[in-house]
Structure formats: structure tokens, C-alpha cells
A and B are shown apart, each in its own frame.
Chain A
């Protein structure tokens, strides 16, 4: 992974990201002083919060480049752990779920990352959808509490799918053997991260600018059709322009980015629906000081597995 540091294309793009972040930070500070209007203020505050989250993501990205394969998997496993911790804390579970939860944290999650690490594709692709799917409800059933049995099993399984299974496909990108792209896989991770985040923020900004027609106002009042289209088009265009850091042609890159945008949107929407269901606004709010990692990676969780499979299907012989 260290060779990523000698990858000029990667350094170019990543350097530009850092430069933009510094620039945005300055603009944010200046605008914050100037704006008096409440709506504008809240937009700026939202952007400033995003910028600080992006700095953290960049730091994590650099860390994964520096620590090598095992270290990278550990970093992502820790993020998975923190996300699932937030999820399970806020999703109602009962006493009878205790053993199933314990093994979810201490057996299923480490095993998933281990399987990703040894590149046993056939196993890591089915571990949670098939084996955990059988294991979790069985453990709950053995305990014998049948109250809301189906709901409880489904909630735990969903948490494992989103926080562990889906998310583990992001580091799995680093381990794909793509011909004539050896040693450059970190670029794919950077590419996906940039497109997902740009899609998110552009949808928000376009919504603010010209939005009017709400998509699912009950779930996400801020998501509008105008914002969605504007965000997807902008981020897809940006992804297409970044084709030179990927194994894709410009057209393929546009297609990939388009998929990533749509899935990122879906991820954000679904996680919002879950938050509405539980009755909170952000996963991080109830437990202040504990970040809200889940709020940050929701789009990525839906985009990562599909992007992984598309790359694997079309570009890995």
C-alpha cells in the first residue's frame, strides 16, 4: 500500500482535495461573518460541518495508505464497530437478543474483515447474507423470548448488513486484482469517496438553490427533485472527468459515477427513514460526543458493495 505514496495521479487528486478543503474552510469562515439571514446561516453551518467531516475522512484515507493491508482492514473494522455500536444502541433490542448481539460484535464482524483480508471472495460475499441470517434468529429463538421475534431478528440482521457487510466492501476494493492497475487500487477508494461526497453535498446545494418539488418529504424534507437531478448530474460529470485515475474510459467512468450517486442517495434516504422510525434526527445526536459515524457513512454503505461488484464483474478477469 506504501507505493500509493509514489503514485503521482493519486497524489494529484488527493492534493487537490486538500487544497479545496483549505479554500472552502476560508470561504466558510468569511461567509459565516457576513451572512445575517438565518437560512443562509444554516446552509453555511451545514457546509462547515461537512468540511470538518471531510478532513477526518482524509485523515483516515491517509492512515489507510500508510499502515498496509492489515492496518487498513483494522481501520475499517473499527469504523464498522463504531457504526454498529451506534446503530444497536438506538435500535430497540430485548434481553433475549443479548447473545446474538454479542456474537455479532465479536464473531461475525471480525470474521467478515478477516475473510475480506484473505480475499476469500466466495465466503465473504455470503457470510452475513446467508450464515449470519441463519445464526442470529437461531440464537434468539434458543433464548425463547418470542415477543417481536421477527422484528428483533430483522433489526439485528439489517445492522450487520449495513454496518459490516456493505461497509466492508470499501476496503475490499483495495484487494481487487485489476490488470494494468496493480498497486493503484487506493485510487478507486478515493474516487468512490469523492463521488459519493460530492453527490451528497451537490444535492444539498442544488436543493437549497432551486429546489421546490420534494421527493419523499416525510422522510427527508430537504431532498428535492431539483437537488437530486442537479447533484447527480454534477457529481457524475465530476466522476467522468476523473476517469484518468481509474481503470475506466471516460464514458464508463460516467456510468460508474452515476451508479454511485444513485446508490448514495438511496443509502441516505433509507437511513433517514430508519432514524424517523426510531424517532431521532441523527444517530450521533442522542449520544453526544460519539460522533455519529453512521450519519457520515450511510451513502457510502449502499454505494460500496455495488461499485465493488461492478468493478469486479467488468474489470477483474
Chain B
């Protein structure tokens, strides 16, 4: 991965911040140089750019998104954006569920996780949307397993939950023209995998850590 930020990425980040009028709150931690995986709810194409732009620029240069291969390799523009501009780590979505035998499953998921761990390296941070796809914004859907495997594999990396609010109203799935409403981004307290914690329990706890950061529309 080459050093520095692609100029188009900086421009897009500025535009995304302007359109979303995002107000960032570090509620559970401070911006930090240490290696982190930011995981957030996912409702809009703006999510990654806004979250990424909320990080201080030196950290931003070392933070890469994890994106779905099937979607982002569909057109040349998407491929260019994801490979050259944002330097995303591409993963195959649903690869694990396509496998037939448990041996295959283990093999595929291991190589997936290995790809991501390689991308993390010794200095990088990642942005991950564990729901796997963009939702409607009404609730945070169940998390896929990747976050658990990463937590198992790299216990030294901080897992920082984040909640993006209103992005689904600004640029929902299936629209390409944004409505400039205001939005909120809240970073929560980092979580860690407890010794002996079950996969499902951990994923549910992680999901709860994200959805508890919601600020509007909570009665």
C-alpha cells in the first residue's frame, strides 16, 4: 500500500462532510494512533467516507475500509474508487456460506481472515461494517462472524464501535442524489473479546455496543 491519501479521497471526504453536516462525538474514547478496527452500522454509501473523514488526517492515511468484492468489482468506476482511491481490503461476501463441507468452510474463512490480518499489518487500522450490507436504518442487523475471528486473531487491536445516524435519510440504498440533512457520528468505548467468550455472545455484545450509541429517536 502506497503512503498518503489519494487526492480524490480527500475531495470526496470534504464533500461527504459538507453534505452530511456530520457532528462527530468521541463519547467512549479519543482519537488515537494505536491500531484499531472501527465497526459501525451500515445504511449508506456515505458511511465509510464520513467515518473515515472524521479521523485526524495522520490516522486517516493509515485506515482502510473493508469492502465487498462482488459489489465493488461490478463496474470500472467502483473498482477504481475502491482499489486506487480508498485502498480498500476486498473480501468475498457470503463465501463462507457457499461452502459445502466444514473443512471447506474452515479453509475459506481462514484465508479470508488471513487477508484482513495481512492488511492490518503492524500499523494499519480498518473500518468494518459487520452487518455485511446496507440496512434501512431502523435497527442494527445481526453481525456476521468476521469481527469475532479478527478479535480472536489480533487481541491487541482495539475494537471501536461507532454509530452513524441519519445517513440512510441523506443517501439511502438505491439513490444517488443526496438530501443534505444533518447527521451524527458517535464513537463508543472500545470492546475486547473476553477469555472463553462464545462467538454468538460476542457478536451480540458488539452489535449492542453499536446500537446503544444511537442518540436520536430513542424514547
Contact = CB atoms under 8 A, between A and B. Distances in A.
Interface of A: 81, 85-86, 88-89, 93, 95, 98-99, 101-102, 105-106, 286-290
A106 B179 CA distance: 9
A286 B178 contact: no
A153 to B, nearest CB: 16
B215 to A, nearest CB: 8
A95 B179 CA distance: 11
Given A88-B179, A287-B21, A289-B23, 8 more contacts: A89-B181, A98-B179, A99-B175, A99-B177, A101-B179, A101-B181, A105-B180, A287-B184
Contacts of A102: 177-179
Contacts of A288: 23
B47 to A, nearest CB: 16
B133 interface: no
B186 interface: no
Q: Which bucket holds chain B's interface residue count?
A: 10 to 19
A89 B21 CA distance: 11
Contacts of A98: 169, 172, 175, 177, 179
B21 A85 contact: yes
Contacts of B216: 286
A215 to B, nearest CB: 29
Given A93-B169, A290-B21, A85 B178 contact: no
A287 B136 contact: no
Given A289-B23, A290-B21, A290-B23, A85 B181 contact: yes
A315 B203 CA distance: 70
Top 10 closest A-B pairs, CB basis?
Answer: A101-B179, A89-B181, A89-B182, A102-B177, A287-B182, A102-B179, A289-B23, A98-B175, A88-B181, A95-B172
